[in-house]
Amino acid sequence: MKEFAVSLDPENRKPYYEQIYEAVRDAILSGRIPRGEKLPSTRSEAKFLSCSRSTVELAYDQLLAEGYLESQPYRGYYVCDVRDLYHLPENGREQTSSVPEEPLYPTEEYAVDFSPNGIDLEHFPYASMGRIMRGLLLDEGERLLRSSAPFGDGNLRQIICDYLYQSRNVNCRPGQIVIGAGNEYLQILLSQILGGGRRVAMESPTYLRAFRTFQNIGYPVEEIPMDREGMRADLLEKTAADLVYVMPSHQFPMGTVMPMKRRLELLNWAAQEEGRYIIEDDYDSEFRYRGKPVPALQGMDRSGSVIYLGTFSRSIAPAVRVSYLVLPQRLLGCLREKCGFYSCTVPAVMQQSIYHFMKDGYFEKNLNRMRGLYKAKHDFLLGELRKRPWVKRILGENSGLHLLAAVRTGMTEEELTADCRAQGIRMYGLSEYFLSGRPAFPEPVFLFGYGGLSREEIAAGLAALDGILGKE
């Protein structure tokens, strides 16, 4: 073909070669340059356009790379046969999607939210954490951005190991600790270590995120009822489960502390067969307001059956996204073989920041302050609930970040929740946490999370409930 015209525009932000590339591409796509056509040589086209030959070469190279042209040695550039392949359905499935747009920025809907996951971050040492992060980037930035050890930074694993031994009686070596981006990620990682085809036993009611994660993993879940000592371990032998997920030190949502005898029953169940494991989720053991924390199940394990799962979501903050597994020694080979090629999911700078936060004493200081703050909120809420004629019974005292209260009312849980919602109060009915069935209480039971609320907010929430329940 003859040379073709491209009006090269020096005012255009795009370089000349790109203007040529686009002109030729569009001409090929529209069919103006037919397939099989030989393009002018770079030399003659450059002369025609009064530009340098390398500009035209660059444009042709781009067209070659993208497959619009092919080069035949010593002959030149030819237009490829692309058009007949280009007739993809114009009104394909993509256009028929009717999924509503999800809001990019979540909005606050409630004046008072009794979420059991609420935490107090007003007093967090932001300046110290900011100083630590900036210092790390300046001093060790290159190392921290390069890469991270697959199971987590050695310093952090060591200091978590020490912390768990001192505070929770967890008995392990740093090599047994795996750092990951949150509990659910670690649950998934664990499923890759343990392999498919497992059956899980869970308490009911339970922590629903863990339940749903098991569903996504593809592990069938059997629910085991609870009594006042926690999961009915005697029922485990009647199931096909070879994995148990429990929260022995502070069950969510019931607040039950599993007594020694029940713990030993669980450990004995696991020790009976080689492939049985117990996942001990120790999500908020830091917050106990009377006596000292109950030691972890892991520390009593003699058969290498307990997989301990801990998190900084409550002891530091949820959005740092750092959790840790303590694996029994006998799973370490499998971990390395199957998952040793993964990069650690927590940014190295975040891991190092937490390490320094712990090493320099900020973690402990912050935890002690938070325990005091939460205890004060706990005591305030407990006192306020006790004054209420509509509170029939209070459960789950002295620990964690929520209380449960059975409410004397003629309404159902759903009705009361709806009435509260209309007044800007978000309530959490206990039945939401059951895998199936309902709570064994004659009256509705609600979780009152206080971690993220001020006294004023707690009082306002309860006052709204007074109004609703007083009208009955």
Determine the distance from the C-alpha atom of residue 11 to the mean position of all C-alpha atoms in its chain, rounded to a whole number: 49
Alpha carbons 167 and 291: distance in angstroms, whole number: 13
Least distance to a copy of itself, CB of residue 467, Å: 29
Q: Is 182 among the residues that bind a copy of itself (CB under 8 A)?
A: yes
Task: Look at strands 402-407 and 445-449 and give their pairing.
Answer: antiparallel
Q: Is 165 among the residues that bind a copy of itself (CB under 8 A)?
A: no
**Per CB under 8 A, which of residues 135..164 are in contact with a copy of itself?**
135-138, 141-142, 144-149, 151, 154, 157-158
Q: Which of 160, 320, 403, 407 binds a copy of itself (CB under 8 A)?
A: 320
Alpha carbons 297 and 301: distance in angstroms, whole number: 7
Do 230 and 251 contact (CB within 8 A), yes or no? yes
In sequence order, what DSSP letters do the residues of 316-359 get, joined into one string? Answer: T-GGG--EEEE--GGGHHHHHHHHTTSPPSS-HHHHHHHHHHHH
Alpha carbons 201 and 220: distance in angstroms, whole number: 9
Q: Which of 45, 113, 301, 457 binds a copy of itself (CB under 8 A)?
A: 301
Q: Is 368 among the residues that bind a copy of itself (CB under 8 A)?
A: no
Q: Is 339 among the residues that bind a copy of itself (CB under 8 A)?
A: yes
Least distance to a copy of itself, CB of residue 420, Å: 22
**Per CB under 8 A, which of residues 396..415 are in contact with a copy of itself?**
none
Q: Single out the segment in contact with a copy of itself by CB under 8 A; choices: 3-11, 130-138, 375-383, 401-409.
A: 130-138
Q: Single out the segment in contact with a copy of itself by CB under 8 A; choices: 315-323, 357-365, 402-410, 463-471.
A: 315-323
Residue with smaller CB distance to a copy of itself, 121 or 459: 121
Q: Single out the segment in contact with a copy of itself by CB under 8 A; choices: 132-140, 235-243, 358-366, 428-436.
A: 132-140
Residue 228: closest CA among 254, 189, 201: 254
Q: Single out the segment in contact with a copy of itself by CB under 8 A; choices: 183-191, 372-380, 415-423, 457-465.
A: 183-191
State phi, psi for 251 to the nearest 5 degrees.
-65, 135
For 337-417, strand residue ranges (E) read 391-395, 402-407
Least distance to a copy of itself, CB of residue 134, Å: 4
Alpha carbons 45 and 322: distance in angstroms, whole number: 59
In the numeric block, the tokens 């209420």 are attached to 388
Q: Is 122 among the residues that bind a copy of itself (CB under 8 A)?
A: yes
Among positive and negative, which fits the CA dihedral 387, 388, 392, 397?
Answer: negative
Residue with smaller CB distance to a copy of itself, 91 or 436: 91
First-last CA distance in the chain: 90
Least distance to a copy of itself, CB of residue 375, Å: 14
In the numeric block, the tokens 């209380």 are attached to 403
Q: Is 13 among the residues that bind a copy of itself (CB under 8 A)?
A: no
In total, the chain counts a number of residues equal to 472
Q: Which of 276, 347, 380, 423 binds a copy of itself (CB under 8 A)?
A: 347
Do 13 and 22 contact (CB within 8 A), yes or no? no
**Per CB under 8 A, which of residues 416..455 are in contact with a copy of itself?**
none
Q: Is 338 among the residues that bind a copy of itself (CB under 8 A)?
A: yes
Contact map string, positions 72 to 111, toward a copy of itself, x by CB under 8 A:
--------xxx--xx-xxx-xxx--x-x-xx-xxx-----
Q: Is 226 among the residues that bind a copy of itself (CB under 8 A)?
A: no
Amino acid present at 285: S
